[in-house]
Amino acid sequence: MQTQHAETLVLHEADDAPHYGNLIDGKWTPASDERESENHDPANGELIGYFPRSGQTEVDAAVAAAKRAFALWRLTPAPKRGEILFRVGQLLAERKEEIARILTREMGKVLVEARGDVQEGVDMAFYMAGEGRRLFGAVTPSELPNKAAMGVREPLGVVACVTPWNFPVAIPSWKTMAALISGNTVVLKPATDTPLSALKLAEVYADAGLPPGALNVVCGTGSEVGMPLVEHPDVVGVSFTGSNEVGRAVNVAAAAQLKRVTLELGGKNAILVLDDADLDLAVEGILWSAFGTAGQRCTACSRVIVQRGARAELERRLVERIAGLRLGHGLDDTTDVGPLINASQAERVHSYMAVARSDGATIAIGGEPARDGTLARGNFYQPTLLTEVKPGMRVAQEEIFGPVLSLIEVESLEEAIAVNNGVAYGLSSAIFTQNVNAAQVAMRDLATGIVYINAGTIGAEIQLPFGGVRGTGNGHREAGLGALEFFTEWKAIYIDYSGKLQRAQIDS
- Which among 305, 315, 286, 313 has a CA at the least distance from the CA of 410? 305
Total domains, the chain: 2
Residue 312's identity, in one-letter code, is: A
Same domain membership, residue 357 and residue 249: no
Same domain membership, residue 283 and residue 236: no
In a domain, 357, yes or no: yes
Please work out, in degrees rounded to the nearest 5, the angle formed at the alpha carbon of residue 291 by the alpha carbons of 285 and 297.
95
Active-site annotation, residues: 264, 298
Q: Which helix (H) or strand (E) holds 127?
A: helix 111-131
In a domain, 147, yes or no: yes
Q: Which domain holds residue 68?
A: 6-265+473-491
In a domain, 505, yes or no: no
CA-to-CA distance for 133 and 79, rounded, in angstroms?
Answer: 5
Please give the pLDDT value at position 8.
Answer: 75
pTM (global) more than 0.85: yes
Please give the pLDDT value at position 5.
Answer: 40
Q: Strand 469-470 to strand 362-365: parallel, antiparallel, or no bridges (unpaired)?
A: unpaired
Each residue's pLDDT tens digit in the chain (508 positions)? Answer: 233 343 478 988 888 999 999 999 999 999 999 999 999 999 999 999 999 999 999 999 999 999 999 999 999 999 999 999 999 999 999 999 999 999 999 999 999 999 999 999 999 999 999 999 999 999 999 999 999 999 999 999 999 999 999 999 999 999 999 999 999 999 999 999 999 999 999 999 999 999 999 999 999 999 999 999 999 999 999 999 999 999 999 999 999 999 999 999 999 999 999 999 999 999 999 999 999 999 999 999 999 999 999 999 999 999 999 999 999 999 999 999 999 999 999 999 999 999 999 999 999 999 999 999 999 999 999 999 999 999 999 999 999 999 999 999 999 999 999 999 999 999 999 999 999 999 999 999 999 999 999 999 999 999 999 999 999 999 899 999 999 999 999 999 999 999 999 999 998 6
3-state secondary structure 336-364: CECCCCCHHHHHHHHHHHHHHHHHCCEEE
Same domain membership, residue 274 and residue 256: no
Same domain membership, residue 220 and residue 88: yes
* b/e 461-481 (16+ beta carbons within 10 angstroms → b): ebeebbbbebbbbbebbbbbe
Same domain membership, residue 247 and residue 160: yes
CATH code for the domain of 405: 3.40.309.10
Contact 202, 219 (CB under 8 A): no
Same domain membership, residue 436 and residue 344: yes
CATH code for the domain of 20: 3.40.605.10
Count Cβ atoms below 10 Å from residue 443 Cβ, excluding itself: 13
* b/e 359-378 (16+ beta carbons within 10 angstroms → b): bebebbbbbebbeeeebebb
In a domain, 461, yes or no: no
